Amino acid sequence: MIGEYVTFQLDKCTGCAHCVKACPTRAIRIRSLKAVHHPDLCIGCGECLRVCPEGVIQSNVESRFPLDPDKTNAAIISPVLYSQFPDTMPCDVLRAVKEMGFDHVVDLSFHLEMFQFAVEGFIAQNRETRQAPFPLISPICPVVIRLIALKHPTLLDNILPIRRPAVMIADDVRKKLQSIHNITASEIEIFHITPCPSKALSQEMVLKDEIGSVDRTIGINAVYPELCKHVENIREMELDIYDTDPFANIPNARGPMWSKSGGEINPLRDEGMLSVSGLQEIRRCLEKIEMGVFDEMNYIELRVCPQGCLGGPLTAVDRHMAKQTVQKLVRTFGVNRRLPPYKLQRLYDRGWFFANIRPSDLTGYYPDQRQALTIDQMQEIENLLSLLPGIDCAVCGAPDCRTFAEDVVRGRARRSDCFRLREIDNGKEGDT
């Protein structure tokens, strides 16, 4: 069973159906003028909360975060956070987070570089034999992974079986903290500050072996107001290059670059790579991968959010502004490689990068809740469709006419929910 990524506060719901139309997996309907959510189909993309005009829908990523003073609190920072503060050095953003009361703030740059090393290594190892199914699909965006599990299960094998950087780092940090402070794992609380509603349930992140890697997730938009104040103060201070936190290793622009579409593959030297962002584009791209259109490609970066993670629903500033900030950071700080390849190679050979569980094990993760239709039912849907207005008005409570027809055939909606069918059916009664 999948946990829930979003919560609906129905007292405020007006039944406007904006969310119904926005949901890519058609997991929402309107019934009796209120939204009805089907969590078993939800992939946590957050499209619904972007469009709701009444603020009914909340991400289950936390917005309040009282820190437990008895614990060692560490915050892993999504690189998107740097894009939210124009003209601010990434290390100052990290300091500002620390001012909020965290004992440690953790930057991802090195782990991004490690991940990228592993991508190149995996491709080099499998390119000739084409043993692994190509094109490989990036494992980074959890929403994409869930979309694949739900709609394109044959592509699960194409997902690169390398652990995501945030997961590698969470495990690393927990071990390091235990030895530095001489404490037990349970005395540590690891936070992830993120733009991404799909991280709502850290214990159910993407692959099962990620369970427990992060304890709590917080939305960037939740910390933003307080952070702004700290950033302001720090900007007023004298330049201080001697940071004290061992985890806040001076970030370069690899992180900020990563947060925008293409940033995962751009630092790599491989011609056979593509990057795609935005839900519609991704859905099209997955269909094409399934039809063999991209068989010659090596690797495809897919991010469900428009322009990449910096367009995530839980960000605080306009995504075009954020992109601008990223470009400046890239110009100023660069994305140099800083880790010795031979050491990375040693880790790779030891299997350190690999997830214990193959993504294909996710097949059982979304036991398709909807029973397959029979051929007769499918024909019935086509017949019904020819009667429907075809304008996808959503007044019936379904996102489009086809889905409504399917709901009727499955016994989940009544013909009379559609104004046109109501007219037709009433007309018939009149005749007899």
Partner 1 sequence: MAALKKSFQLKSRDFMHAGEASISVQNMLKQIGIEPALIRRVAICAYEGEMNAVTHGENGNFRIEVNTDKIILDISDEGPGIEDIEKAMEKGFSTATEEYREMGFGAGMGLPNMETNSDRMDIESEKGQGTRVVMRFSLSPGSRKNET
The contact set with ligand SF4 (CB under 6 A) reads: 5-6, 22-23, 25, 27-28, 37, 42-48, 141-143, 195-196, 198, 303-305, 309, 312
Assigned token pair, 12: 């405020």
- Which does residue 406 touch among partner 1, ligand SF4, none (CB within 5 to 8 A, set by kind)? partner 1
| 375 burial level (CB within 10 Å; 0-12, 13-18, 19+) | exposed
Minimum distance from residue 82 beta carbon to partner 1 (Å): 36
Binding map of partner 1 across residues 135-164, x = CB under 8 A, - = no contact? ----------------x-xx----------
Q: From the list partner 1, ligand SF4, none, which binds 6 (C-beta under 5 to 8 Å, kind-based)? A: ligand SF4
Q: Which residues pair with 188 in a beta bridge?
A: 72
In this structure, the dihedral spanned by the alpha carbons of residues 338, 342, 347 and 353, taken in order and rounded to 10 degrees, is 60
**Out of partner 1, ligand SF4, none, which partner does residue 141 contact, by CB within 5 to 8 A per kind?**
ligand SF4
Choices 113-121, 188-196, 264-272, 376-384 (CB under 8 A): range interacting with partner 1: 376-384
How far, rounded to the nearest angstrom, does the alpha carbon of residue 259 sit from its chain's CA centroid? 12
- In 3D space, the residue among 84, 45, 52 whose CA is nearest the CA of residue 223 turns out to be 84
Shortest Å distance, C-beta 378 to ligand SF4: 24
Of the candidate residues 68, 376, 429, 431, the single one contacting partner 1 (CB under 8 A) = 376
Tell me the closest approach of the beta carbon of residue 391 to partner 1, in angstroms.
19
State the minimum distance, in angstroms, from the CB of residue 375 to partner 1: 4
How many whole angstroms separate alpha carbon 130 and alpha carbon 136? 10
Which window, 98-106, 115-123, 290-298, 309-317, contacts partner 1 (CB under 8 A)? 290-298
Contacts with 141 (C-beta within 8 Å, 6 or more apart), sequence order: 198, 302, 303, 304, 305, 309
CB of 296 to partner 1, least distance (A): 8
Look at residue 61 and give the partner it binds from partner 1, ligand SF4, none, a contact being a CB closer than 5 to 8 Å depending on partner kind. Answer: none
Residue 113: how many other CB atoms lie within 10 Å: 22
Query: What sign has the CA pseudo-torsion 366, 404, 312, 140?
Result: positive
CB contact at 8 A, 208 and 357: yes
393 touches partner 1 by CB under 8 A: no
**Residue 143 binding result from partner 1, ligand SF4, none, given CB thresholds of 5 to 8 Å by partner type:** ligand SF4
Residues 6 or more apart whose CB falls under 8 angstroms from that of 248 comprise: 91, 94, 95, 98, 104, 105, 106, 107
CA distance 24 to 408: 20
- Shortest separation between residue 155's beta carbon and partner 1, angstroms: 9
Task: Pick what 185 binds: partner 1, ligand SF4, none; C-beta below 5 to 8 Å, kind-dependent.
Answer: none
Burial of 23 (0-12, 13-18, 19+ CB in 10 A): buried
Residues that bind partner 1 (CB under 8 A): 151, 153-154, 284, 287-288, 290-293, 371-376, 378-379, 382, 406
